[in-house]
Amino acid sequence: MFEDKVVLVTGGTGSFGKKFVEIMLRDYRPKKLIIFSRDELKQHEMRTGGFDHPSLRYFIGDVRDVDRLRRAFHGVDFVVHAAALKQVPACEYNPFEAIMTNVNGAKNVIDAAIDANVKKVLALSTDKAVNPVNLYGATKLCAEKLFVQGNAYSGETGPKFACARYGNVVGSRGSVVPIFRKQGATGGRISITDERMTRFWITLEQGVKFVINAIDKMHGGEIFVPKIPSMTLKELARTLAPSSPVDVVGIRPGEKLHECLISEDESRHSVEEDHMYVILPEHAWWPSGFWSRCRKVDGGFRFVSDTNSDWLTGEQLLALLEN
């Protein structure tokens, strides 16, 4: 699907963006792959760190600037929208900035994609968008709604918009995993918020491949959710720093004990395949025949990290990190 096509990734110098570029170059050979981000230093470090393929282009720009997006999207076939402010405390302390990037930025991506007649646009979302209790989750919920409803503006012949929603990424920048590993290596104490806390986990490689698969399958308006395992924070700390003492410091403001990837209300219009769920839009513009081959999710179903049927063991986590 991507061979001889032009692909652009916003937030392309982040953890996801780097892995996405790596896999696209390795397995899909696009004609042009554009890394769109606002930090020239990170782009320089990425280019000099091995990402200097002839098909790569580095564009300086911010998703807050719709005119720059329109220029960048000219001639682009597929867009992956990964740019966002993602740190919960930073979004709480800088709420206007979070809205301008995560909400207004999403609108700008949609507007620019329609104006440039991009074929498909897929946005990254998070489990924190489900029943949000912090501003970051609320902005990502708004972004999801914009991308689902953006199909109403593009019409039958315009770009198709969809989302991929998944949980914590093992080892990504800002993840607790490298922090625990570093503390364990130096014999320091480990701080966890609550021993009962659970989270969904996915690797960068799995996340990128899931996004690529979603772009291939999307019709416009879906929210794709992978079937991924859960793990308690206590087991995570014990695995990564087995000899370190643990301090329980309590749940931070804007944090949940468990995360949810599909709510009970969303299950009414969700279907499943072997390795993923698909939340379908409930709107008049959605053709009912799409995804009819898939099994409907049971009524009242919730995909929550503490009641998940798939649990990640310590050995499996170490194997993922080793890979």
Q: DSSP of 59-79, one letter per residue?
A: EE--TT-HHHHHHHTTT-SEE
| Catalytic entry in 18, 86, 120, 128 | 128
Q: DSSP of 23-59, one letter per residue?
A: HIIIII-BSEEEEEES-HHHHHHHHHTT---TTEEEE
Number of neighbouring beta carbons within 10 Å of residue 75? 13
Determine contact, residues 12/170, Cβ cutoff 8 Å: no
SS3 content of the chain, % helix, strand, coil (to 5): 40, 25, 40
Task: Give the start-end residues of each E strand in 242-300.
Answer: 246-248, 260-262, 270-272, 276-279, 295-296
**What's 129's DSSP letter?**
G
C-alpha to C-alpha distance for 235 and 164, rounded to whole angstroms: 27
Structure tokens at 17: 């963006």
Phi-psi region of 279 (alpha: psi -120 to 50; beta: other; left: phi over 0): beta
Task: Report the number of secondary-structure helices (H) and strands (E) in the chain.
Answer: 12, 17
Residue 209 designated active-site: no
Bridge partner list, 3: 30
- Residues marked active site are found at 128
